[in-house]
Amino acid sequence: MGQRVGYGRAATMGEVASAAGVSQSTVSRVVNGNPRVDPEVRRKVEREIRRLGYVPNMAARTLVTRRSDSVGVVIPEPASRIFGDPFFAQVLRGISGALNARRQRLVLLIAEDQEQERWLAPYLMAGHVDGIIMYSLHGDDPLPGELRQRGIQVVVGGLPPRGTRVSYVDTDNVGGAHAATSHLIRLGRKVVTTLAGPQDMIAGVDRLAGYREALRTAGLPADERLVAYGQFTRESGMSAMSELLARRPDLDAVFVASDLMASGALEVLRSAGRRVPRDVAVVGFDDSPIALMTDPPLTSVRQSPEVMGRELVELLNGHIEARDQVIRKVVLDTQLIVRGSCGGKPSTNA
Amino acid sequence: MGQRVGYGRAATMGEVASAAGVSQSTVSRVVNGNPRVDPEVRRKVEREIRRLGYVPNMAARTLVTRRSDSVGVVIPEPASRIFGDPFFAQVLRGISGALNARRQRLVLLIAEDQEQERWLAPYLMAGHVDGIIMYSLHGDDPLPGELRQRGIQVVVGGLPPRGTRVSYVDTDNVGGAHAATSHLIRLGRKVVTTLAGPQDMIAGVDRLAGYREALRTAGLPADERLVAYGQFTRESGMSAMSELLARRPDLDAVFVASDLMASGALEVLRSAGRRVPRDVAVVGFDDSPIALMTDPPLTSVRQSPEVMGRELVELLNGHIEARDQVIRKVVLDTQLIVRGSCGGKPSTNA
DNA sequence: TCTGAACGTGAATGCGCATTCACGATCGAC
DNA sequence: GTCGATCGTGAATGCGCATTCACGTTCAGA
């Protein structure tokens, strides 16, 4: 390494320039890859840059270019939910990887309550970020719409609230739920119930819709008494399962809208003396790591959270660079991973 | 809301100033809470700020103050590990909450491999962040030391490599492992084994040390054949458990250095026909959510990841503000949460 | 009444950088 | 040999802000 150690100020372009005997403009050209620089001069400048350990000051650059090269990831959610659920973490991983590859920074914004979320809008206006990614939206969150109004580029993971003109990447929740439910029906189950997710989240609504559609397709009645509701959490899965067992003791299958809820449901079934899959077949959703840890291993609908993360970044950058207003919708397919909990034949990549 | 909609530039101080009929300096004083401003003038300026939707431009502010009001969270790790493990996510949650409270931004930096990690140093020099928090360090990672050399404030979650002069917050891994192992011994187990973590991570080393210390305290021989090693993952827990069963078929207790490994171990034990806790008592470490999902529920050593996150932020800000070079070490206590897997009497807050 | 301290304010400066403009040098075409 | 075009370079400018300095006013003390 070079001379620069200790607590000195970082070198500036001007310092590099005088060290190399050129003007600051030329250093700027070298740094930014402008081709109109004599190769000899370029080498000299590059040597001094290395020697002085020069690194462009991002604040100064942002000030003049009006680009921050960073994107905000906004997670408007009581954090308990987020962090109990590996799915969200994996999406984040996908986002992080894609941003790294493009040398963009990831600013993580967790709004733990509504009040904090209101702070976000002005905050995001400050030029901190070139655009933002939101996911795990609840109900009719107005934030994406507002931000877009203000000219901030936004993309959303999961379906945005109705009427919000915004690009998004979503899992095919309806299709996945349909596949899971149909599978249970094909296995000969007669009373196919569901533990649905929260109905203020589109993922919850869509998975329930897919379940109902499958029943309808099979010519089965979609009795509302076959449905109990939870909040995607383990605890809510337990109480919903108890409720359902009390209401329909004759149930022999249950499609659960998340693996976390399913893990709770399995425990309740066990306590109630029902054997899985013999007495009750269970299918989850997410194919999260916990699907492998339950007993028996959980049949589940696999999403691709990393792919979702990558797609979100691509989508956002498309908007930032093109500055076009064309809304894009990306829907990611799902895959039913069959394991022990449904009594079917396990798929190969379980 | 006010006039400002659409895609216009954000308002600047100068615009607010002329709208309010004062100088830009005065607006700056109002924005930054300088008391030497006439209350009447202050009100007028504040009204214009609201009306125009003015938000200070952070790049400009950073350029002159040399403070970015953001901190980097560096996670040097193949992300698979991070995101399988709820512990890391919870620390992140603690960090996020503490930063939010102080109106600081969180820049998340996940270095997925060594090469990416090398990029970090120059990157962090660019003035992006006022300081950084690292955790989940492997082996003798030189990064914290290097950054500190360069005058970047760093704090570390978990013990830093030997010889690195850096403040840190750590869980009392030795004490926790000691308590877990002692508990097993007190329950009358005779062949108390351990599945240790990776020995290039201090958490792995310390938990093994605590285990050995407990054996020694109890006057039991610390036979190396009672130890198998894993990587804190579920899969490595499975193979380590198999190895141990083959080597010491007479084992009747196992202290596992992480819950994730323990969940794998439980499955292997079940397949091998050993009943838990009757034949083999199991204790994990972390008290992560999966401890509740195993069958039987896992006795585990509880850490306080959120508290660790908060402490990390406090520690870092202390350094940033005081600019002192005094190293601080914060050690967080653990708590043994007794559940079904060890055959002891469950604790109340299990 | 005079002095000087405290107060409220505005003009000017510079943080580090990208960019524009101007300028001399080199080159090809005629 | 001249003229316009192209190329490589440097000086100057401004991004939006905090801060310093200077200036006029007010007020208390003598």
CB pairs under 8 A between A and B: 145
Higher local confidence (pLDDT), A136 or A55: A55
B142 reaches A (C-beta below 8 A): no
- Of B286, B261, B85, B252, the C-alpha closest to B177 is B286
Q: Average pLDDT for residues B83-100, to the nearest whole number?
A: 83
Interchain contact, B10 vs A125, CB within 8 Å:
yes
Mean pLDDT score, A178-194: 96
B window 287-316, beta carbon within 8 A of A: 289-290, 292-295
User: What digits encode the pLDDT tens for the residues A107-123?
Assistant: 998 887 777 777 777 77
Whether chain B has a CB inside 8 Å of the CB on A1: the answer is no
* Nucleotides of strand C under 7 angstroms from a protein beta carbon: 7-12, 14-20
| pLDDT over threshold 60, residue B105 | yes
Average confidence score pLDDT of chain B: 88
A84 neighbourhood in chain B, CB within 8 Å = 86, 289
**pLDDT range class, residue B84, cuts 50, 70, 90:** low
Q: Which two tokens stand for residue A268?
A: 């309740």
Return the pLDDT at B110: 84
**B 184-203 residues inside an 8 A Cβ radius of A:** none
Query: Which pLDDT value is given to residue A349?
Result: 55
Q: In DSSP terms, which residues pair with B131 in a beta bridge?
A: B71, B153
Interface residue of B238, B293, B320 to substitute, partner A, most A CBs within 10 Å: B293
The verdict on whether omega for the bond into residue B144 sits within 30 degrees of 0, i.e. cis, is: no
Confidence band (pLDDT; 50, 70, 90) for A5?
very low
pLDDT at A79: 53
pLDDT number for residue B164: 83
Sequence-distant (6+) residues with CB within 8 A of B46 are B30
Q: pLDDT category, A1, cuts 50, 70, 90?
A: very low
The reply to whether A53 Cβ lies less than 7 angstroms from strand C is no
pLDDT, one tens digit per residue, over A213-270 is 999 999 998 899 999 999 988 889 999 999 999 999 999 999 999 998 999 999 899 9
Question: Would you state the structure tokens that stand for residue A321, as one six-digit string?
Answer: 């660079």
Q: What percent of chain B has pLDDT over 70?
A: 92
Predicted local distance difference test score (pLDDT) of residue B2:
35
CA distances A155 to A103, A143, A291, Å, are 19, 11, 29
B68 touches strand C (CB under 7 A): no
A22 secondary structure, DSSP code: S
- Judging contacts by C-beta atoms under 8 Å, the chain A residues touching residue B107 are 70, 105-108
- Select the residue from B95, B104, B110, B310 to test the A interface by mutation, using most A Cβ atoms within 10 A: B110
Between CA A300 and CA A287 the distance in angstroms is: 5
Which band of pLDDT confidence, cut at 50, 70 and 90, is reported for residue B225? very high
Residue among A96, A116, A127 minimizing CB distance to B108: A96
Side by side, the strands of the sheet bearing B299-302 are: B227-229, B192-196, B253-256, B281-286, B299-302, B335-337
**pLDDT tens digit sequence for A145-154:** 888 877 789 9
Residue A14 Cβ < 7 Å to strand C: yes
- Of the candidates A7, A107, A108, which has its C-beta nearest B151's C-beta? A7
In whole angstroms, D6 C1' to A34 CA is 16
Nearest to B211 by CA among B196, B201, B225: B196
Give pLDDT tens digits for A263-289.
Answer: 999 989 998 999 989 999 999 999 988
Residue–nucleotide distance: A64 CA to D17 C1' (Å): 13
B234 touches A at CB < 8 Å: yes
Q: How far is A214 from chain B (nearest CA, A)?
A: 30
What is the C-alpha separation between A84 and B335, in angstroms, rounded? 21
Q: Is the pLDDT of residue A185 over 80?
A: yes
Q: What is the pLDDT of residue A8?
A: 54
For an interface test with B, give the residue of A125, A149, A152, A269 to mutate (most B CBs within 10 A): A125
- The pLDDT tens digits for A62-121 are 999 999 999 999 887 665 566 656 778 888 889 999 998 898 999 998 887 777 777 777
Do residues B227 and B255 lie in contact, with contact meaning Cβ atoms separated by under 8 Å? no
pLDDT of residue B7: 43
Q: In this complex, which of A70, A93, A294 lies closest to B293 when CB atoms are compared?
A: A294
**Inter-chain contact A105–B128, Cβ cutoff 8 Å?**
yes
Per-residue model confidence (pLDDT) at position B79: 53
Tokens of residue B33, six digits: 């809470």
Tell me the DSSP string of B31-85: HTT-S-S-HHHHHHHHHHHHHHT----HHHHHHHH----EEEEEEES-HHHHHH-
Using the predicted structure, report yes or no on whether residue B5 has a pLDDT greater than 60. no
The answer to whether some atom of strand C lies closer than 7 Å to the beta carbon of B64 is yes
pLDDT tens for residues A28-69?
999 999 988 999 999 999 999 999 989 999 999 999 999 999
Provide DSSP, A121-166: HHHHHTTT-SEEEEES--TT--HHHHHHHTT-EEEEESPPPTT---
Identify which has the larger pLDDT, A299 or B232: A299
Nearest CA to CA, how far is A109 from chain B (Å)? 7
A320 touching B, CB under 8 A? no
**What are the residues facing A228 on neighbouring strands?**
A195
Q: Is the pLDDT of residue B66 over 60?
A: yes
pLDDT at A4: 36
Q: Between chains, do B110 and A125 touch, taking CB under 8 Å as contact?
A: no
Mutate to test the interface with B, among A110, A154, A232, A313 (most CBs of B within 10 A): A110
pLDDT digits (tens, 9 = 90+) for B6-36: 345 688 999 999 999 999 999 999 999 999 8
A78-92, A321-335, B188-202, range with greatest mean pLDDT = B188-202
User: Would the Cβ of A31 be found within 7 angstroms of any atom in strand C?
Assistant: yes
Supply the pTM of this predicted model: 0.84
> Does B149 contact A at CB distance below 8 Å?
yes
Cα nearest neighbour of B65 on chain A: A59
Average pLDDT over residues B295-299: 92
Give B176 CA → C24 C1' in Å.
76
Residues in chain A with CB shorter than 8 Å from the CB of B4 are: 150
Rg (CA), chain B: 26
pLDDT above 80 for B340 = yes
- Name the more confident of A274 and A200: A274
Whether residue B181 is predicted with pLDDT greater than 50 in this model: the reply is yes
Name the β-bridge partners of B134: B74, B156
What confidence score (pLDDT) does residue A3 get? 37
A10-24, A249-263, B133-147, B286-300: the lowest-pLDDT one: B133-147
Q: Note whether A150 contacts B5, CB cutoff 8 Å.
A: yes
- Band of residue A184 on the pLDDT scale cut at 50, 70, 90: very high
What is the reported pLDDT for B295? 82
CA of A37 to C1' of D7 (A): 9
**B253, containing H or E segment:** strand B253-256
Which pLDDT value is given to residue B1?
Answer: 36
pLDDT of A308 over the 60 cut: yes
